[in-house]
Amino acid sequence: MSADIALNENKTKPPKKEKYYVQTIRRVLKNKLAVFGIIIIFIQVILAIFAPLLVNYGPYVQDLSQTKLGIGAEGHFLGTDNYGRDMWSRLVYGARISLIVGLAAVGIGLIGGIALGLISGYYKKLDGIIMRIVDLLFAFPGILLAMLIIAMLGTSLVNVVIAISIWSIPGCARIVRGSVLSVKKQEYILAMKSVGASDIRIIFKHILPNCTAPIIVFATMRMATAILSTAALSFLGLGAQPPTPEWGAMIAAGQDFMWDAPHMSIIPGIAIMLTVFAFNVVGDGLRDALDPNMNLDM
């Protein structure tokens, strides 16, 4: 057989190529802002995991003799709130709540959104119905939808998760559907059909992995929104209830003392801002890095 020509051509290529995800990470790390975001997220994750080891006082421990201490006070370097609870401790435990609520809400939202997106992208007949339902969800302002859901289910962090995840579904479904529509027209899907693969196999094994890039970007950006919305709902009294050390609830508690203890609102405010900013810039960085049209050696 005269295969040698083609074979030799192949041998000249470098023997070991870098894996795709290694390349992607490398590209993200070239983006300075994204690196800054990754560091902040990393710190937050560390704080959330090791919270009990990092604090001297529990987040609920009150010391009424030491209320509203300012930043830099002895023993409480971020001060205390109006019940004498350690701000640092509450901040660290708040990071835990923010991350868990964000991850849970985005996770549930992704599962629902991916399922709906795959179905409506692949089956033309169901597309119309599903997309009209999605349109309906889009027509509500997000925070209003979340408030409506919480009004029905009652105020609690679990219900905040449910509300935010439902609100994440339509966006995710749209993005996944778009990718499916373009992927399913590719010849390799027809080729897979021609070797006898079933619809389920094609959808989950062959189409879904081709849609991961936009899903990853969406999930990262959505984390920022989810954390911000959790804080907003808690601030309004619809999410975490006192004395839970949730950042939004902490801002709400501090607003009565803006003049004599501004750090009670400012510290959790800065925490929310930094976290949201971090997730957004990382999402941006990922989008640039995963975009196949970007120059590879950027």
Partner 1 sequence: MEQLLQVDNLVTQFRTAKGKLKAVRGISFSVKAEETLCIVGESGCGKSITSLSIMGLLPSNGEISQGSIRLGNEELVGKSDERLREFRGNKMSMIFQEPMTALNPVFTIGFQLREPLRIHKNMTKKEATAKSIDILTKVGISSPEKMLNQYPHELSGGMRQRVMIGMALACEPSLLIADEPTTALDVTIQAQILDLIDTLKSEMGMGVVFVTHDMGVVAEVADRVMVMYAGEVVEVGTVDELFSNPGHPYTKGLLAAVPNVDDVDQDLSIIPGSMPSLDDQITGCRFHSRCPYAMDVCKEKTPPSFKVSGTQEVKCWLQEVDNNGKSTTSSGSGEIKEILSN
Which residues would be at the binding site for partner 1 (CB under 8 A)?
1-7, 9-10, 13, 17, 20, 124, 186-188, 190-198, 201, 206, 209-210
**Nearer to partner 1 among residue 32 and residue 124 (C-beta):** 124
Shortest distance (Å) from residue 113 CB to partner 1? 20
**Nearer to partner 1 among residue 162 and residue 211 (C-beta):** 211
Shortest distance (Å) from residue 178 CB to partner 1? 17
d(CA 145, CA 141): 6
Shortest distance (Å) from residue 53 CB to partner 1? 41
d(CA 120, CA 114): 10
Shortest distance (Å) from residue 2 CB to partner 1? 5
Amino acid letter, residue 262? P
Residue 80 backbone dihedrals phi, psi, to 5 degrees: -130, 165
**Nearer to partner 1 among residue 69 and residue 203 (C-beta):** 203
**Nearer to partner 1 among residue 11 and residue 152 (C-beta):** 11
The distance in angstroms from the start CA to the end CA of the chain is 42
**Nearer to partner 1 among residue 32 and residue 201 (C-beta):** 201
Residue 186 contacts residue 122 (beta carbons within 8 Å) = no
Question: Following DSSP, what letter does each residue of 42-107 receive, concatenated?
Answer: HHHHHHHHTHHHH-SS-TT---TTSTT--TTBTTBTT-B-TT--BHHHHHHHHHHHHHHHHHHHHH
Shortest distance (Å) from residue 226 CB to partner 1? 28
| Tokens, residue 142 | 């997000």
